[in-house]
Every structure is written in C-alpha cells, then in structure tokens.
C-alpha cells in the first residue's frame, strides 16, 4: 500500500522561506522512498511556491485571507503569520485534504497549534515540525531540530507517549550536504588565500542586514586578502540595493541570487556570517564556522546555546549596538588561525547530514503502525 503525505506550511517576506524549504527537504527524502507528497501553502508575497513546483510536488494554494483595506486583527506573536484564523485556515485546508486523501499531514507553522490539528483528528495521522516548544500540539510525532532541545521540553505540549525527535541529529538537510561533507571537511585541513567570507542572512533578508554587514567589512584590515560573497533568495526585497552596494564596495565582493548548489558554495568558504536559522545546520554539517547574528526572536536561544558550547560565535542581535565591533574582532581572530580549526571540528561533530533520513524512518514507522492496527 502506497503512502501519501500532505504538508501545510507557508513562506512570505515576514515568515521567510525556511519552513517551506525544510518541508521540501523532507518531502524529497520521502519521495525517494516511494511516498507521494503534496503541499498546501498560502499565496502571499514572498512565497516559495516556485521551489515546490520545481521539485515536482503537487501544490495547492490558499488565497490571501485579508481583503484590501481590511486590517489584520492583532492576535499577538506568531499567530499573525497565518494571515487568517486557525479555524478558517483549517476549514479551507480540509477541503483540499479531503480531496487528495493523504495518510499523514505534516505541519510546519508557528501560527498553528492543537486548534488547527483537531479539525483533522482522529481521522488523520499528524506530524508537527516545531522550534519553539511554546504551545500545545495534537500530533502523533514531533520534530524539533534545535540544539539543546530535549523531549522533556514537550512533556505537557503533546499527547502522552508521542515520540519527540529532538536535537540536530534530526536536522532536515538536503542530501547534497551529506554528499559534500567529506570533501568539505578535507578542504578545511588547509588554509586558503584569499580568506573567503560568506554573508547569508536568510533568503528574504527583510532587514537588509547583508548591506550593513558589507559596510562593516569595509573596515577589515588587509582588505585585499579577503573575498566576500553575499547570498540572497530570489524574492529578496532589497536585491537591487545590495547589488549597488556590492558594485560600489572597495572589497572583492560578489552577490549571488537563488543559489541552487549551496553545498558546493559552502565548501569554498572559510567562515560564514549568518542568521541562526535552519541554514546554520547546513554550515555545521560541512564544518564551516559561523559568526551568528540574530535577526528574529526565535533565533536567539539557538545562537546563545551554540556559542556556549563553543560551536559558533554569537555576535548578538542585529537590532542592538555593538555587533559590528564583535564581527571585526572575531573575524580577525579567525583569519589569524586562532580558534578556526576548533570551530570546524565542533561544528562538524554536531550535524552528520542524515537527519532527514532519520525523520523519514519515523514517519514510515508511523504509517506501518497505523496499517497494523
């Protein structure tokens, strides 16, 4: 009997693309095991729908919930990310789910909790991907890839006995990172010239942190010995501003848009300046040291935990003063060889690139147990 999985997740300028992209990683890994996957997303600005379609999965779009001129009610926190009430979103999604009749629903959305889940229960098995451990879920399996997260953090947030896959062992990385891991670790045994710096502040980079980082890097000593690569997503709203800044920079700098082979790009880098989102696990897998700059509230715990364990360097919060000085100080330490090999090894030891495969096995086990009962 074949298995069919339906994903419910969104991407937008406000949300970013990370939730949909890690769902897409899981969907691709499931498809490699013969599973048919579908996506339900909301059709809003900054979506990642093209990436889903390019990967060959079926896509079903929910229309924008707000009417022009009608303000969105302030429901506080991440709840506004849904752009609708949970009941309305669940009702619209259920019409699609009933039509395609999947065996399992996977939800990756900070604005969705048990109120949405219960509209599909107990008829459907449900898997939740989360980072926050801040709300109740009605699910059969939970995945939280955060460093330092433990199953006990969800003790009162999921039904009793629900398996919780926690920590970077379950980081949802594309297979290209696992394949590139050995080459990347070998490359890091040898110093490179010029010293190559990656700036990756998320696909959308809504705050235009990339341009401000580039401005700070103009003050680096011995600038001719460094090379800067800035990466933005296809729908990043500040692309032209960053492009102009790169063209005017005194640094050897370039801008890449919509990189399709991030693993090979990371192999060539010596250090990354990046947000503490999902891409941090990609860098860890390839042993690439990270200077972390938090651009969202949910990134702060991960940045602090990784820094405390000596796995990355925490520059602080983008909206606070002082991170520029921290960036220049720590970058100089790494360029001189101090600490960089330690960061390489500790980062690589945290993530082996097989997380998606482990989650797939748990989902297949969930499906098998359903058919045995």
Residue 38 sits in a domain whose CATH number is 3.40.50.11190
Q: How many helices (H) and strands (E) does the chain have?
A: 13, 13
Q: 100 and 194 in one domain? A: no
Residue in the block written with tokens 């990784």: 306
What is the structure's pLDDT at 169?
Answer: 97
Contact in structure between 136 and 114 (CB atoms under 8 Å): yes
What is the structure's pLDDT at 74?
Answer: 46
Residue 222 sits in a domain whose CATH number is 3.40.50.2000
21 CB neighbour count, 10 Å cutoff: 22
Q: 179 and 142 in one domain? A: no
Rg (CA), the chain: 21
Q: 279 and 186 in one domain? A: yes
Domain extent, residue 60, equals 4-172+353-372
What is the structure's pLDDT at 260?
Answer: 86
Q: 292 and 196 in one domain? A: yes
What is the structure's pLDDT at 71?
Answer: 41
Q: 359 and 279 in one domain? A: no
Q: 326 and 212 in one domain? A: yes
Q: Checking phi first, is residue 258 left (phi over 0); if not, alpha (psi -120 to 50) or beta?
A: left
Q: 341 and 264 in one domain? A: yes
What is the structure's pLDDT at 356?
Answer: 97
Q: 184 and 146 in one domain? A: no
Beta strands in the chain (DSSP E): 4-9, 36-42, 58-62, 104-108, 125-129, 141-144, 164-166, 195-200, 226-232, 252-257, 271-274, 290-294, 313-317
For the entire predicted model, the pTM comes to 0.91
Weakly modelled stretches of the chain, pLDDT under 70: 1, 66-76, 338, 370-373
Per-residue pLDDT reduced to its tens digit, 124-144: 999 999 999 999 999 999 999
Q: 311 and 184 in one domain? A: yes
Estimate the crossing angle of helix 239-248 against helix 209-217, to 10 degrees: 10
- Structure tokens, 104: 């399992």
Q: 311 and 208 in one domain? A: yes
Number of domains in the chain: 2
Sheet containing strand 164-166, strands side by side = 58-62, 36-42, 4-9, 104-108, 125-129, 141-144, 164-166
What is the structure's pLDDT at 22?
Answer: 96
What is the rounded CA–CA span in Å between residue 186 and residue 163? Answer: 36
- Structure tokens, 105: 């629903």
Q: 114 and 262 in one domain? A: no
Q: 167 and 180 in one domain? A: no
What is the structure's pLDDT at 338?
Answer: 65
What is the rounded CA–CA span in Å between residue 238 and residue 249? Answer: 16
Of the candidates 81, 80, 83, the one whose C-alpha atom is nearest the C-alpha of residue 63 is: 83
């Amino acid at each position: 009997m074949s298995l069919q999985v339906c994903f419910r997740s969104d991407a937008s300028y406000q949300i970013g693309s990370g939730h949909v992209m890690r769902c897409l990683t899981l969907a691709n890994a499931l498809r490699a095991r013969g599973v048919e996957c579908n996506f339900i997303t909301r059709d809003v600005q900054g979506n990642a729908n093209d990436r889903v379609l390019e990967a060959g999965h079926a896509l079903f779009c929910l229309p924008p919930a707000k009417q022009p001129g009608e303000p969105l009610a302030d429901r506080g926190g991440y709840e506004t990310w849904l752009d609708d009430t949970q009941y309305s979103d669940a009702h619209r999604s259920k019409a699609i789910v009933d039509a395609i009749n999947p065996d399992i629903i996977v939800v990756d959305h900070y604005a969705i909790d048990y109120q949405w889940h219960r509209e599909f229960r107990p008829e459907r098995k449900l898997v939740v991907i989360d980072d926050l451990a801040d709300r109740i879920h009605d699910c059969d399996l939970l995945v939280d890839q955060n460093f330092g997260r433990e199953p006990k953090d969800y003790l009162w947030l999921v039904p009793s006995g629900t398996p919780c896959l926690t920590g970077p062992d379950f980081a949802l990385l594309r297979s290209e990172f696992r394949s590139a891991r050995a080459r990347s670790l070998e490359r890091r045994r040898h110093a490179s010239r010029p010293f190559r710096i990656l700036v990756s502040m998320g696909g959308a980079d809504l705050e235009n942190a990339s341009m401000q980082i580039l401005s700070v890097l103009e003050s680096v000593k011995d600038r001719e010995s460094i090379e800067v690569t800035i990466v933005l997503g296809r729908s990043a709203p500040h692309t032209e501003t960053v492009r102009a800044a790169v063209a005017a920079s005194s640094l050897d700098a370039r801008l890449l848009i919509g990189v399709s082979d991030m693993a090979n790009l990371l192999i060539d880098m010596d250090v990354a300046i990046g947000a503490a989102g999902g891409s941090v696990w990609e860098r860890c897998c390839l042993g690439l040291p990270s200077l972390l700059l938090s651009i969202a509230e949910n990134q702060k715990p991960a940045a602090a935990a990784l820094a405390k364990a000596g796995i990355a360097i925490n520059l602080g919060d983008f909206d606070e003063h002082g991170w520029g000085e921290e960036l220049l100080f720590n970058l100089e330490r790494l360029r001189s060889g101090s600490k960089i090999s330690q960061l390489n090894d500790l980062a690589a030891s945290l993530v082996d690139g097989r997380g998606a495969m482990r989650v797939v096995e748990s989902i297949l086990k969930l499906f098998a147990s359903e058919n045995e009962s």
